[in-house]
Structure 1
């Protein structure tokens, strides 16, 4: 496969589909290249109990809202996957899969998108690959020495595999709290965080978070971080009722059979779950972004300041307020496609 078009979108998750919706509305010739074998993006790989932070009503992609899920205030990952699949079909989006983009290179007036299935040439490229493929592990001494099991959020599926074990969960964000809520029901657990966990009020969900982030972007208030780090979804509220939401300070190192703190105390464990976040999946853009080193890339809105024919969509607040959420991806995609349309018309 190969071809030439005005816009190539790299990634067919929520941000890529939002871009496709607006590109189709704008009448721009485009293709969406997705490395996944099926629709759903990163939501296909979440753990069994993973939930959205917002009710379905407040988690729409552009054009068509997410239907509610029977019996659930906060939709499951599987429900989100079904929604993304139906969304793709509803708008007949131009997704080709599985196509893995190896790199994007400048070639005169165009960008060349090299894949395992051929080469595409485009006037503009929208990168929407997200972060799930790039889990971050902190450089904690002794990680190579530890003889137990180590896994990241991306590897976690359900608490059943830890039944009766001693488990250390590292990380004070939403994934750490939700996985703690799971594992604490079946295992002996310890939760460690770099700073004391900050829980948001019970009535704060993704809708409130986006509104706060939008006001911050307009200079009209403080940011989401002022509210806390952890959304109190039902499983986390249940963990609070069970009295298990207590964290110890961050470990200093791992030993062969456990974890150690700065005061020299040691605790044996069978497994460590690193809920320590992600980095943007931008390796395919290395020829365009020579200064990129596994972090963010400089942008003006979503447009790269190093390569003006490249847009970065859905990676976090540095590519638009709340752009890594469903509703935020739609709003930043709209501005991105409007900018591309104006430049093509010019």
Structure 2
């Protein structure tokens, strides 16, 4: 029994069967399934959304991220997305689509509601054993009570920036993916992009096209793959991630589970040097950074693997093949040390763009004490049920962090929540 159970049971508001926190892909999928389980909007369940309009985290994405460049926009259950204009910003496409879904199904979405805390209160024992209720409290003081809670808050509100020596002394601009608006804002600047995921690739290509001089830094060599991202790939990814969450380990980054696809667009960026990682970031200076990888004069391309096969193949994007990593252009670079097998070197930068991902937004669940010491949550084999707190379901977490995974998890959580609520 946790300390949260010592809070006395509240009786000032009706008890819903389910409260869904979040109205993104996972939350809407869960709400749609609750309707199919014959739960009544407003009377049996509610959906609380922190945003002031539909779209979830997508509504905050930069306009330059068009629909055709966005990864992982999948259909909501029972309503196909269709074929939007590929040049339209993905944020507008998704906001319009999610809004239509809410209206067509008559979902009980309340917004804006920023949830501040979720607590559990013990109730009287019944024929099924000990039971209780969750109290969901908004930042403005409003409360909702429910027998079960589906948490679908995703990650957008928890950007992650790793610590590096010198980070506080950098005199240029630093921003995270969450604060990016337009590549044109960086025209003529030297920009360091840190991160090994597809967001970093998109930033690098956009910045280069907008006239910025880019440098890419990754902790490890980019995990390029030529595997086709089909249904079996998705199952494999979910299986590998679930193996961690069932042990209570924090989920790995998306790219750690998926790898980076070798597409024609990315091959062109590789051939030009834009998508060549210059190695890990060692430290930050007041006006630049120290890197440990292929330096300003370039270096050898990978001798094997999907990138090497693609770049060296006849007719590849690198006309005639590529036998060296292209040199950096723009600012002069100074060699700092040659003690390592790879030369450590320094370059000036105006801006550091941290494309270093997000963490699960779950601070409001702190009163429930479901996190392990390492920060993870022990999940049951179904991938949505929290082992330490029956009646609490996490979707958009771990294996369901992708939109296709979130859809499946939302439906599964709704089925489990509806069954749990009606059995109490």
Q: Does TM, normalized by the shorter one, top 0.5?
A: yes
Within the candidate set 292, 303, 325, 2:385 is matched to: 303
| Structure 1 position 253, deviation (Å) | 0.8
- TM-score when normalising by structure 2: 0.72
Contact 2:241 2:398 in 1 (8 A): no
Following superposition of structure 1 onto structure 2, how do residues 205-220 of structure 1 map, counting pairs within 5 Å? 205=229, 209-213=233-237
The answer for the alignment partner of 2:223 in structure 1 is 198
* 1:244 correspondence with 2:274: yes
Any residues of structure 2 matched to 1:172-187 within 5 Å, and which? Answer: 172-185=196-209, 186-187=211-212
Q: Once the two structures are superposed, what CA deviation does each residue of 1:205-226 show, in whole Å capped at 9, x if it has no partner? A: 475642443676899xxxx979
The 8 Å contact of residues 18 and 421 in structure 2, kept in 1 or not, is answered as no
Give 1:316's match in structure 2, choosing from 398, 401, 411.
Answer: 398
Can you give the 5+ residue segments of structure 2 that lack an aligned partner in the other structure?
Answer: 1-11, 123-131, 244-253, 293-336, 338-343
What does residue 260 of structure 1 align with? 290
Structure showing greater Rg:
2
**Equivalent residue for 1:31, pick from 46, 53, 59:** 46
CA distance in 2, matches of 1:229, 1:25: 36
Give the aligned partner of residue 408 of structure 2: 331
1:5 has 2:16 as partner: yes
Q: Output the CA distance in 2 between the equivalents of 1:227 and 1:310.
A: 26
Deviation at 1:49, TM superposition (A): 3.0
- How far apart in 2 are the matches of 1:227 and 1:138? 20
Q: CA RMSD in A?
A: 2.8
Conserved in 1, the CA contact under 8 Å of 2:189 and 2:213? Answer: yes
In structure 1, the partner of 2:301 is: none
Distance in 1 (CA, whole Å) between partners of 2:63 and 2:232 is 25
What residue is the counterpart of 1:67 in the other structure? 82
SS at match of 1:261: strand
Unaligned runs of 5+ in 1: 318-322
Q: CA deviation at 1:291?
A: 3.8
1:159 aligned residue: 183
Q: How does 1:226-237 map to 2 (within 5 A)?
A: 229-231=259-261, 236=266
**Aligned equivalent of 1:111:** 134
In structure 2, the partner of 1:132 is 156
Q: Work out which of the residue numbers 58, 64, 70 in structure 2 matches 1:43.
A: 58
Q: Which moved more, 1:190-199 or 1:160-169?
A: 190-199
Q: Within 1, Cα distance between the matches of 2:111 and 2:376?
A: 27
Distance 1:78 1:120 in 2: 31
How many pairs were matched up? Answer: 333
